[in-house]
Chain A
Amino acid sequence: MRPGDVRTVMWKELRELGDALTGGSRAQLVVLAFVGVFFGVISPMRRGAAWFTDGSAVLSYAFIGMVLLMQPIADVFAGERERHTLETLLSTRLDDSSIVLGKLLGVLAPVCAATTLVYAVAIVATNIEFGHGQLLLPPFWSVATTLAAIVLIPGLMAAIGVNASMHANTVRKAAQMLSLFVMGLVFLPLIVTQVFPRAWVTRLVALLNGHSPAQVGLAVGAGLLALDIGIVLLALARFRRGRLALD
């Protein structure tokens, strides 16, 4: 893998995304504006500073990232295949890992940046509404956990999305596979509580209660990071020029 090549592929993904936003795709701009206004202004202004510590920020901002990521990540390979640009890209000197990582990061980076921006706007909005001259800031563990969630949860989705898009014939098919994953993620807590024995769930809750939020966040973050890396490695292993050229 050559970092310069990863940056080159990222550059193209960012260019296309930027051109899509400034060009014809008004729908994506509307989604972005809605997400920004709702999660950056309306929601924090209604809830007060409690959202700094109640853990809801972690889920909210991870959710934003997942929503923003859905379409572009499904497009990375399947879209190139649909538009007949993939084979030409494969015929260049770019190595496999630069293509995979460049595409993944080219989509993930702007999504994480946009989500972080919304998070920052939400903190400012909370201060304007509830600060009364004092600076209100979330505790460090909350900021760290939220930022980690903004990167790692959409990162997990991006890694799965790259895998889904790699051999999907159409963007639509890749997006459908991703939707199934998101549904699985949403229903996972329910499945865990229903399927696993009651005693296991009780022990898990007790285990979580026995540790500080920072410790739990660190453990979950480490697990997610390992999962993200594992699924990216799976994508690299599945990347075969021959199969990609023929799909």
Chain B
Amino acid sequence: MTGPPLLVARSLSVGHDRDVVTGIDLELRAGESWFVLGANGSGKSTLVATLLGLLPPRAGEIRVADSVRRAVGYVPQEPRFEPSLPMLAAEFVAMGIDAGVRRRAAKERAAAALDAVGARDLLDRDVRALSTGQRRRVAIARALVRSPRLLVLDEPLANLDLRAASALAADLEQRRRAGLCVVHVAHEVGIARRLATHLALVADGRFRAGPAALLGREAFAEAEGPPP
């Protein structure tokens, strides 16, 4: 799928107090499935946090299409759940809904988002009593409830059982075909081989990106690293 870019990064350098990854040039478009691959600590999450505006770029620029600014879904690597107060999954998911939507409508949208990740039965459960995998599905539903045009997932399949991971992957692929741009941050390349239309490789502070078909097997092998 082509069209104007949703997000463009040019000559970008990212990092907290020093450059962690440099030379980033990137264009994200509707209908693309990006996998940002690299070893643990390589700077993948820092890159994504910068693209999302959570960290200022150390150099370069990021442009985001106006139509996307309020239509971004984000699933952090470790979504924050409040352990000391009761909170229903419906309330957690509804956090992603803008003001102005009435409570009943918000709950219906939360139920639909939970349904999309196979977790409708969690709607009225206290999030504190959920397993790690269930919590991750609830966090993904919170991102989906906004009907995003750009969805960023940091290690989305971590802690999911096989069935839930498979259902989520199928749902994301369906949404991508419908025009959603999905950015996965991952360090395992198995799922990327099946779903990626584009790859971004982060290694030793360097960045390389392009269509998965162009980068090919070498890129996956590089992302996997040397055999043990």
Pairing of A with B? no
